[in-house]
Amino acid sequence: DAVIITESSEGGADAGVSGTSQAWVDALSPSGDRGGLRHSGDGKLADQLLDRFALAAPEAAAAASVPSA
């Protein structure tokens, strides 16, 4: 499954996720506690988006820790 994120000036979003800064930190941390986030619209799509962010986080952290030559 792929999740595609696009920006458009037409219409509203299919799904939305909101929360405090701490709720986002909790959701994207290794514990993955999403209890502080609020969904609007398509909840399944919002969950898929969060799942993709969670999968990408370890890869991004590893890339950031590679020393440049």
pLDDT confidence band for 7 (50 / 70 / 90): confident
pLDDT tens readout for residues 13-53: 888 888 999 998 898 888 889 999 999 899 998 888 888 87
pLDDT score at 10: 81
34: nearest Cα among 53, 50, 57:
50
pLDDT over threshold 70, residue 59? no
Return the bridge partners of 16, or none.
40
pTM of this prediction?
A: 0.63
pLDDT score at 42: 92
- 37 and 63 in contact (C-beta within 8 Å)? no
